[in-house]
Structure 1
Amino acid sequence: MAMSAGNTVLWAQLRSMPGLLSLSALATFTQQVAMLALPWCVQHALDDGITPLDVAATVRWSLITALVSIAFLLGGAGGQWWSGVTANRIAHSLREALVGKVVTLDRPALTRFGRGDLAMRVTRDVDLIRLWVQNLGLWVRVVVTVVVVLPATGLLDPMLLVIVIVTFPLVGLANALFPGRYDAANEALSEAHGARADAVEDLLAASAAVRGLGGERVLVRRHHDLSGAVTSTALRVAGVSAWWSSVPAALPRLAIAAGLGIGGAAAINGDITVGGLVAFTSWMATLALAIAVLVDLLTGRGQARVAAGRIAEVLDLPGTAADDRDAVPLPAGGVLHAGGVVVRRDGRTVLGPAELWAAPGELVAVTGPTGSGKSTLAHLLCRLEDPDSGTVTFGGVDLRAAARTEVLARIGLVPQRPLVLSGTVADNLRLGRELELAELRAACHAAALDEFVMSLPDQYDTVLGERGGTLSGGQGQRLALARGLLGRPAVLVLDDVTSALDAETEAAVLERLRAWNPAAAIVMISHRPAVLAAADRTVTLHPPDRGAAGGPPGGGAVLPDDDSSLLGDGAALPAGGNRG
């Protein structure tokens, strides 16, 4: 199934660039015809010029050889250029599609893959397809070689043609022995690489948390075991590849030996010229090279099919393509409402039923004990996960009816464990967006971070350590908060982003958040007293086994029924309903 999906992905990519592929094929055809014409030129130079001591003929064939060599040069350069452009465009297209798909997947979909394994699909697997596309022009060289060498040797001597004809089925038989074994070994190698990448991700992300508890030894040992699996599988692939590369390529070289014996006797008897014998050995050497290239092409195709199958597994997941085609547009603003949402995992209820309203300009606090589903609710509010029952709407539109990309633009999430990327402070804030330094500073001021950044050696150009190792927990939280503010979403969901802040800094953040975008709704998941005191309303979640969550507010102001018209887009609060 994966192989079939992989073939579909490969052919779809090739059909997207017929012009560039045609130019590459034409240039490669020119190169190979010129390459095969060179022995013919040498043959005539020997037989028509050098042997009869004819200077004019020798010069003439030398010039013809030079022109053929120039055609070989230009064809080779053009083929490499156009194939390289095609391969890199396809690689870029696949990476863009993969990254675009991954950022729209919900949590259950993402749990099918490890983070390291996903990274391998975006990097190693795409590179294998890029190399395969870049080498597609070599198929032209193989075909042209076979088409030219067969009749050319037949014109020299029938016995030489017999040698070539006998060589081909032997080469085909040798090639038939290896592809299945190679594909299976290479698929196992891809899986081993993905498992080890996950182990590396865990080692980098979790080693600091378990250091001193003995856990780092477990992570290192796990990485060691998986690295051993990669090594042993790679050796198995290398073994199959070594025999596959050697056996088929050795057969034409044995044919050269046979041809020298038979052709040498024919030359002594005057049935073939010395130039003809030289041309035969050159053509057979080219044929041997073509067969070696053919083996590389077949192994590359096997790798590309496996890689494309792994990429197809991600791209075929339900997500953006279907959403965007039939999506309902989201309004620019409105009320975010989670109505009776319930989430179940492995047959166990982890959230709900829960109820939440967040109107423009409101600060809603969500609190509750561990295990009550606070972070799960945060994922539902920005559709990183869908509820098993109940609905989440924005401006009256069910988020499941909207495109994920539009949901992510309207509703921003700053997670409990912020991600700090390798690069500078500015890189972490911009994430590739075109933002001026003044905008970065304003967002950092709102997050109470600007003073710290300006104290750094290179200020916003300061390079942060791997995974933000140079930042404290509170600084990492505020960096992620500033990054979320820069998108100016209509709703900002903050998952315990002040947990590592001191009271003074937390107070500054709470004050500046509301001033940053007064029209935005803010949902803060927190147990901190300062957050609960600052909230307009509080939603208290309870563990699912204690019954319905989201009962009467634990604090803050409840909007009166006659203010429901201010909430916008048909999402008025129900009269007499529970607004907790």
Structure 2
Amino acid sequence: MILLVATGLDVAGPWLAQVYIDGYLVEGDLRAWPLLLLGGAYIGSQGLAALGRYLQTLYFSRIGLEAIYTLRQRVFRHVMRLPQHVHDATPTGEMVARVTNDTDAIRELYVAFLATVLQNLVLLVGILVAMALMNLQLMLIAAPLVPIAGVVIWLYQRTSGRAAMEVRRLRAVQNARINEAIGGMSVLQAFNRTDHFRHHFHDTNISQYNARMRTVRISGLLLRSALDLIATIILAALLWVYGLEHLGSGAEIGVLYAFITWLGRVSEPLIEITQRFNIFQQASVAGTRLLRLLDRPEAPQGTDTGPVEHARLQLRDVHFRHHGAATDTLAGITLDIPPGSFFGVVGPTGSGKSTLLDLLAGLSRISEGSLTLDDRPVADFAPETLNAAIASVPQEPFVRSTTLRDNLLLGSEADDAQLAAAIDDAQLRELIDRLPDGLDTPLGERGLTLSTGERQLLAMARALLRQPRILLLDEATASVDSATEHRMNRALERLRGRVTLIVVAHRLSTIRHADRIVVIEAGRILEQGSHTALLDRPDGHYHRLWHHRQRRSAESWQ
């Protein structure tokens, strides 16, 4: 209703001017009251029309922002539920671009395109109706501007689509390169490779510049320039026809004024609509990219919410193959892990150790075989139930730039006693006592104010705060110093018997006291047993691995 009223008031302005010119000015009637009355009506109609346009813009903006709020929430929720292999294969910067830039392009579709097109289409119809009521012959001269604009829009869509898609793709690549460079800045500077990355970024930047220039050239040729030329030709035709009809006469000068004014208002909405099609093109590309993301299947989730009572893990002939891989990463794994036991897992790089922990944590699904927790398939557990029972300490801990307390809680709730118990079990008390503000000390970007070992201890305390029944550690001592390794070993001994420990270790000293050590190579179990039992096999893999590490350790001290 606001749109129709505003359009009617907007169209009425030239009509009021025509009434005064032809009814009073041409006739020589210069009385003040008609001028004041029609002038006041003209000013009032245009003021109310401007108010209506403001309300329209406000309304459409609110619709657009609400729609994008909902869309962005949905996209981010979907991203959080995607399988791990999707995140492994997708650059972080590209995923960020989908959630931010692409949804912003959809917002522009609502705010800058749909609102503009609807408002201007209604205005266009209103002007053509007013033209027809005033002078049908002159309206028929102006009307061809509309279908011609449709042809121009169609040509623009056909020629600019590929360039717009390339712009969006290169923006995602650009974000990915920026994210990589900033995230690894210390390494790039240490290896003096900043210029190399700068040249790579320059190549991407110049490619995006060229793609954008293609869209600019196409829009510059087909949008305003073409329509301005066509509108000028139609204006000339309108003046010529009017001149033939009223040559030498001043009759209906007001009609000519009204038509010239309306013709300008006809061409402007068409030009604005065609220019907004650039936004529509970008939104179409962004929408396609978002649909591709939303079409990716989410990681399957179970519905079993029954509590985990004993925390016994069993693997029977488990096979796993990564998405798109030609061979199995794990093949025929069979294990029985009793509650409260301490299992160590060793093997060369790429043998499948971390993959095994991902399967146990429910981050990946087995391809074949059976994986159960308390005789119930791990795949059937609801995520919140599984996450409450199993906690992980990854090789590269996730640390936010907020305080130590926030990093421990990660949005969860815990009382002071639970927090203190987790800190003590993880041997983190010494760090907290050393920090200036204790638990409320900000840790900086990615926790770089902490050492690698301290970040590992933080990750362990965070995991223990959930009071899990099973704790998974993935190479937690691989990059720490001897003192930190000793503290982590003390933490493991403190947890022994209370929590099932499954530890992937590069340093064999970390798992030498484990109840059972499993040696994996090429996705298969080669041997298993206690540290002593495995060392008693002179031809065994663990025996060779242990003595090899011992020799390297001795050489490093010489």
* TM-score category of the 2 structures, normalised to the smaller one: 0.7 to 0.9
| Deviation digits for residues 484-539 of structure 1 (CA, Å, limit 9, x no counterpart) | 4455555442222333444454454555578799965443322445642564x334
Contact 1:540 1:554 in 2 (8 A): no
Describe the shift of the 1:73–1:150 C-alpha distance in structure 2 as closer, same or farther (beyond 3 A).
Answer: closer
Q: Which moved more, 1:521-530 or 1:86-95?
A: 521-530
> TM (normalized to structure 1)?
0.78
Contact 1:116 1:200 in 2 (8 A): yes
> 1:5 matched to which residue of 2?
none
Contact 2:456 2:476 in 1 (8 A): yes
Describe the shift of the 1:515–1:59 C-alpha distance in structure 2 as closer, same or farther (beyond 3 A).
Answer: farther
Contact 1:353 1:544 in 2 (8 A): no
Pick aligned residue for 1:471 from 446, 450, 454: 450
Distance 2:385 2:12 in 1: 60
> 1:35 matched to which residue of 2?
10
Superposition pairs of residues 152-551 of structure 1, within 5 angstroms:
152-209=130-187, 212-213=190-191, 216-250=194-228, 251-260=230-239, 262-263=241-242, 273-319=252-298, 323=300, 327-333=302-308, 334-344=311-321, 346-358=325-337, 361-402=340-381, 407-408=386-387, 410-433=389-412, 443-444=422-423, 446-449=425-428, 451-452=430-431, 455-456=434-435, 462-509=441-488, 521-529=500-508, 531-533=510-512, 535=514, 537-544=515-522, 547-549=524-526, 551=528
Contact 1:167 1:252 in 2 (8 A): yes
- The answer to whether residue 104 in structure 2 is matched with residue 130 in structure 1 is no
Contact 1:340 1:352 in 2 (8 A): yes
Distance 1:271 1:184 in 2: 53
SS for the counterpart of 1:304 is helix
Distance 1:435 1:63 in 2: 69
SS for the counterpart of 2:345 is strand
Contact 1:372 1:541 in 2 (8 A): no
Contact 1:354 1:541 in 2 (8 A): no
Look at both structures and tell me which one has the larger radius of gyration over its CA atoms: 2
Structure 2: gaps (5+ residues)? 534-558
Distance 2:420 2:220 in 1: 58
Contact 2:181 2:188 in 1 (8 A): no
Distance 1:266 1:457 in 2: 91
Structure 1: gaps (5+ residues)? 1-25, 557-580
Describe the shift of the 1:212–1:396 C-alpha distance in structure 2 as closer, same or farther (beyond 3 A).
Answer: same
Distance 1:64 1:127 in 2: 41
Describe the shift of the 1:100–1:402 C-alpha distance in structure 2 as closer, same or farther (beyond 3 A).
Answer: farther
- The answer to whether residue 35 in structure 2 is matched with residue 61 in structure 1 is no
| Deviation digits for residues 131-180 of structure 1 (CA, Å, limit 9, x no counterpart) | 11223222221321221122222233344213212222322222221102
Distance 1:390 1:550 in 2: 20
Pick aligned residue for 1:105 from 71, 77, 82: 82
* Overall identity of the aligned pairs, in %: 25
Distance 2:185 2:59 in 1: 46
Distance 2:138 2:297 in 1: 59
Shift of the alpha carbon at 1:206?
3.8
Superposition pairs of residues 16-27 of structure 1, within 5 angstroms:
26-27=1-2
Contact 2:173 2:204 in 1 (8 A): yes
Shift of the alpha carbon at 1:122?
1.0
Distance 1:387 1:49 in 2: 89
Contact 2:340 2:497 in 1 (8 A): yes
Describe the shift of the 1:422–1:153 C-alpha distance in structure 2 as closer, same or farther (beyond 3 A).
Answer: farther
Contact 1:253 1:288 in 2 (8 A): no
Describe the shift of the 1:271–1:366 C-alpha distance in structure 2 as closer, same or farther (beyond 3 A).
Answer: farther
| Deviation digits for residues 428-483 of structure 1 (CA, Å, limit 9, x no counterpart) | 44545567888767655554445545655565555544444433222333343444
> 2:95 matched to which residue of 1?
118
Describe the shift of the 1:415–1:235 C-alpha distance in structure 2 as closer, same or farther (beyond 3 A).
Answer: farther
